[in-house]
Amino acid sequence: MEHLNLIFLLAFIVLAFVCGLYVGVYKAFPYSQIQTAKQYFLTPLVKWDLVEEQKVRGHFEQVNTSVFNLEMDTIASLVSAREAPLIVSLHTWSGNYLQPDPIAQRVVELGFNYIHPNFQGPNNSESSCLSQKVISDIDSAIEWAIKNGSVDSKSIYVIGASGGGYTALGYASKSKFDIKHTFAWVPITDLNEWYWQSRNRGSKYADDILGCAGQEFDEQKLAQRSPINMNPIRSSKVTIYTGIKDGYKGSVPISHSINYFNKFAKLEDKINEKDVQKLLTQASKPTLEMIESRQVFIDRVSGKLRLVVFDGQHEMLENAAIDAIC
Q: What is the pTM of this model?
A: 0.84
What is the arithmetic mean of pLDDT over 185-202?
98
Residue 289 CA from chain centroid, whole number? 21
Sheet bearing 294-302, strands edge to edge: 61-63, 74-77, 113-117, 84-90, 151-161, 181-185, 238-243, 305-310, 294-302, 290-291
Q: How confident is the model at residue 80 (pLDDT cuts 50, 70, 90)?
A: confident
pLDDT number for residue 7: 46
- The CATH class of the 40-325 domain is alpha beta
Of the candidate ranges 4-13, 190-199, 267-276, the one whose mean pLDDT is the lowest = 4-13
8 A C-beta contact, residue 212 and residue 222: yes
pLDDT number for residue 53: 58
pLDDT number for residue 36: 29
Q: Is the C-alpha dihedral spanning 49, 55, 61, 63 positive or negative?
A: positive
What is the arithmetic mean of pLDDT over 122-146?
97
Is residue 285 predicted with pLDDT exceeding 80? yes
Is residue 259 predicted with pLDDT exceeding 80? yes
Is residue 1 predicted with pLDDT exceeding 70? no
Alpha helices in the chain (DSSP H): 2-28, 31-39, 104-109, 132-148, 163-174, 191-201, 205-212, 219-224, 255-264, 273-280, 318-325
* Measured distance CA(228)–CA(217) in Å, rounded: 18
What is the arithmetic mean of pLDDT over 97-115?
94
Is residue 31 predicted with pLDDT exceeding 80? no
pLDDT number for residue 315: 97
Name all contacts of 135-140 with Cβ < 8 Å and 24+ positions apart: 135/170, 135/171, 135/174, 135/175, 137/66, 137/73, 138/88, 138/90, 138/167, 138/171, 138/175, 139/175, 139/176, 139/177, 140/65, 140/66, 140/67
What is the arithmetic mean of pLDDT over 173-197?
97
pLDDT number for residue 136: 96
What is the arithmetic mean of pLDDT over 145-157?
96
Q: How confident is the model at residue 8 (pLDDT cuts 50, 70, 90)?
A: very low
Is residue 68 predicted with pLDDT exceeding 70? no
pLDDT number for residue 265: 97
pLDDT number for residue 57: 57
pLDDT number for residue 35: 31
Mean pLDDT of the chain: 86
Q: How many residues does the chain have?
A: 326
Residues 218-257: tens digit of each pLDDT = 999 999 999 999 988 888 999 999 999 999 999 999 999 9
What is the arithmetic mean of pLDDT over 10-21?
45
pLDDT number for residue 81: 80
